[in-house]
Structure 1
């Protein structure tokens, strides 16, 4: 709810601070007093186009500040501000400020946090609806008609939205699966060859290291075997060192018999023969250990070469080839079982699409029923508002399949025919200014709208009517004001008399400077203003008496 409006240096307004309460508030004044300036000021705060002509003559800057009660926690304003990184604490009043320079530059703020004019305009639309002759928003915007009808008819849109999301999720899963199968199918031949090749080769984990170690051992044996053979040849054989030692020991043994001092030398030779014999045995053992099969070495080298070649081919490490084979085998199995999986997904999509269509058709039926009730409710409001020749209808028409959404299969639009036999057309295209405001009032009353803006402003909704029609307008505005804050700019005493609060807009001049001011009227002043509206410049006793009667209603 709008609680306060502060205006500085806007056209004829020098400084103005207004407070507003709940219910129906009326603003009256003579023609040219400045009522449009007041609405233009509020429009500026709500994000309207910044026209430098609004800046008061001789001033460098104008400003307007609008203060609103704290919105409810589920109000669209909270989500909108959060999306734009502007903090608003629950329970905190919402203060919108707009400044406009004489050169045309403007700035916007929400609770002293800068924002764009576009955000201000969107935020303002959630807080205030201004209905006037040139209004093209609110009820005149077909984009909101479907939501309004759903709220009026208490239509179960949530069920349809859930069914739609389930359908689209299943359809997305099917599309992903089809792309996976298509991509895998393109690789079928390659995968088949690769899996068969790897299966034949059968690489094992750690095989590369084992083969490399075995090959290194064999290559080492190949290098050492010749050297060992040469060493063995030096020791063994008829001319080898060991044979020479043994022959020397035998000869020395005969000499020792005759010459005992050589016994120690003989003992040394015996030890040398024993150790040389042990060395011969060790050489033999080592030669046997280092022996290898050239065919085995060739096989190892071939296997190792092929193993590393396969790894390079598939751009993996040799130890990962076994896992790669399993992965490729799984992909190949997915191709082979893909059609069956796709068939399952296609069946799921078809089932969820049917569920969505059924729910959406039920929603369409609900909307058709709600549209009939709304048409009857609006029709009942037209005659008292001097629109008895007009007809109203709610069009619920099917959308093309490509336009189906979480909101169902229908487009909804409100249309009117202002004269008998005239074709139906959108409200904004064929209604005159006064008719338009009265149609909007009839719709508002019939819809008893929930979830819209908390503050509604009607600009001269009573234009061109009087008497019983003006009384009917006042009655309906008062009914709306039971659930929303209503502000109305009016020339009708019947409407003004129904207000819970009354402000008088007046223009004054000291001969050099002209100013527009707004004054909240007390009970006596209010009676005088309504009497003026009834009688004109000269207020008569009859006018005062009639004003009293209107205020007593």
Structure 2
């Protein structure tokens, strides 16, 4: 359950530290007092999208911290252990938002992504917003309520895995069948292109080396001429070669070294230089003697380079990539040659995939039908208690006759309702008025909340559109729900507020230049005053206070 909510510099909240208890906690206050910002803070901490407008003016950042006790959240504890983020039976969630709109999220002090934060959040808190009754009209939302009630999660996962296997094999089969229609033309083309590339002796193909050899042969005359000139200059000209000049210097300096020791080192350096020149001359001479002008060899290389460049342009790749192109062609040709075998194999796989899928889908349909009967009765009873005495609710599960699998099974699921006796059941969107829809939504949420993993449930003004005795029943239902889970409810109804285990009052202060929203936990006397305000508005009379006290004592005496 959620133990503590801490907010710093978020919108109109400068600083707030709120301890929460088990059971039903209500948030009340004047319109605009800041009740919504508390739910906004919870949403942001649990992974909602953030922007710069949330940061209080002239502040470095906004910060929200949540502290959870996981003793009643085994699914969240398991998730944290799986992701190596666990910390005993406690979970700390932190979200910061900067003035530039960028944000950071942390789980138990370690940075995390919003995607992971949202995964964890779904195990901890479930939020029913003001417009939950509108999303209830969507087919996907209706299916979700029924499947949660029927505990179909694992079965849906298996069904969708079977669907994915069928889809992958079916798409491959379609591709191969389509390709086989012009298989002959493709085989001829791939074979021709592969034969072209195999001219290049691909097992020994080395384009950089081939290109270098071609460059050398094309410029061999210049290489030989320049090389011989430099060989003469280095060693073979007895009068003016570098070797001869250095030799003379060594001889002269050697005699002088006997007169001064300082000339020994430069003399030694010249000796080393002479050795280097002699070695370079030897290698150059060996290279020149080994070269032979080969016009025919150059023509062959010209021909090879030309073929390679043409093939490179044809396949739109660099010359070095031609062996890879050849390998790809060989693979595609092999696939085409064996496609008939693969088509036969895939036909069997697709047939088996369909059998597996439809068997799972049938099991899913049966579970949905059984759960729909039970849930329909429970919701019918609930809406009758909530001021629709002749109301009837039904969940229609219609298995569709499909040729091919689809996601989430083969059923069409539709919520039907009859608001008055004698009228036929019709789709929810076509029958219920705004007030009726709100009550039906609340009935569904309260009825199915027992089947949720999240230990904390938040209801944001889902009691709008009702009042009087019905509002009192709603309060009783929420209090009963709070006996087994932590329930936080934003409400304007005194009948609901009087049923709470904990009453939180949201108010604004103007002590500084900037308005600030604050929250305090009300004592019994303060609860009577707040309930009276909700009953009577501005002018609170003794009779209003007496009525408020009676409501509160009656609510506190409830289950």
TM over 0.5, shorter chain? yes
User: When the two structures are superposed, what TM-score results if normalisation uses the length of structure 1?
Assistant: 0.59
Q: CA deviation at 1:11?
A: 2.3
- The within-5 A match list for 1:181-330 is none
Alignment partner, residue 405 of structure 2: 404
Give the corresponding residue for 1:374.
Answer: 375
The Cα shift of 1:411 comes to 4.2
Alpha-carbon spacing, 1:484–1:344, altered in 2? closer, same or farther (3 Å): same
Q: In the superposition, relative to structure 1, how do residues 159 and 9 fare at CA in structure 2: closer, same or farther (>3 Å)?
A: closer
Residues in 2 aligned to 1:60 and 1:546: alpha-carbon distance in whole angstroms: 45
- The 1:485–1:405 alpha-carbon spacing in structure 2 relative to 1, beyond 3 Å, is farther
Q: Cα distance 1:115–1:439, how it changes in 2: closer, same or farther (>3 A)?
A: farther
Deviation of 1:496 (Å): 1.3
Q: Name 1:286's counterpart in structure 2.
A: none
CA offset at residue 456 of structure 1? 1.1
Contact 1:157 1:407 in 2 (8 A): no
- CA apart distance, 1:378: 1.1
Q: TM-score, normalised by structure 2?
A: 0.59
Q: Secondary structure in 2 aligned to 1:22?
A: coil
State the Cα RMSD in Å: 4.6
How far 1:17 moved relative to its partner? 0.3
Separation of aligned partners in 1, 2:511 and 2:164 = 72
Contact 1:12 1:514 in 2 (8 A): yes
Match of 2:556 in 1: 551
Greater Cα offset, 127-136 or 142-151? 142-151
Q: Name the structure 2 match of 1:99.
A: 96
Report the counterpart of residue 44 of structure 1 in structure 2.
44
Of 398, 407, 424, which residue of structure 1 is paired with 2:427? 424
Structure 1 stretches lacking a partner, 5+ long: 187-334
Matched residue, 2:75: 75
* 2:213 aligned partner: none
Aligned runs of 1:459-474 on 2, under 5 Å? 459-474=460-475
Task: Give the deviation of 1:462 after TM superposition.
Answer: 2.5
Hey, what does 1:33 align to over in structure 2?
Answer: 33
Supply the distance in 1 between the matched residues of 2:84 and 2:26 (Cα, whole angstroms): 34
Matched, 1:134 2:131: yes
**How far has the Cα of 1:449 moved from its partner?**
3.6
Specify whether residues 36 and 347 from structure 1 end up closer, same or farther in structure 2 by C-alpha distance, changes over 3 A only. Answer: closer
Is the 1:160–1:360 Cα contact (8 Å) retained in structure 2? no
C-alpha change, 1:160 and 1:10, in structure 2 (3 Å) is: closer
Matches within 5 A, 1:79-90: 79=79, 82=82, 86-89=83-86
Alpha-carbon distance, 1:153 to partner = 3.8
Is the 2:163–2:407 Cα contact (8 Å) retained in structure 1?
no
2-structure distance, mates of 1:47, 1:163: 26
Shift of 1:407: 5.1
Q: 1:33 to 1:344 in 2, by over 3 A?
A: closer
Query: How many corresponding residue pairs?
Result: 402
Change (3 A) 1:408 1:150: same
Shift of 1:480: 1.7
Contact 1:441 1:476 in 2 (8 A): no
Aligned equivalents of 1:46, 1:430: Cα separation in 2: 33
Q: Could you tell me which residue of structure 2 aligns to residue 386 of structure 1?
A: 387
Contact 1:160–1:406 at 8 Å: present in 2 too?
Answer: no
* Correspondence for 1:123: 120
Give the match for residue 540 of structure 2. Answer: 538
> What is the deviation of 1:412?
3.2
SS at match of 1:97: strand
Counterpart of 1:331 in structure 2 is none
Of stretches 346-355 and 391-400 in structure 1, the one that deviates more from structure 2 is 346-355
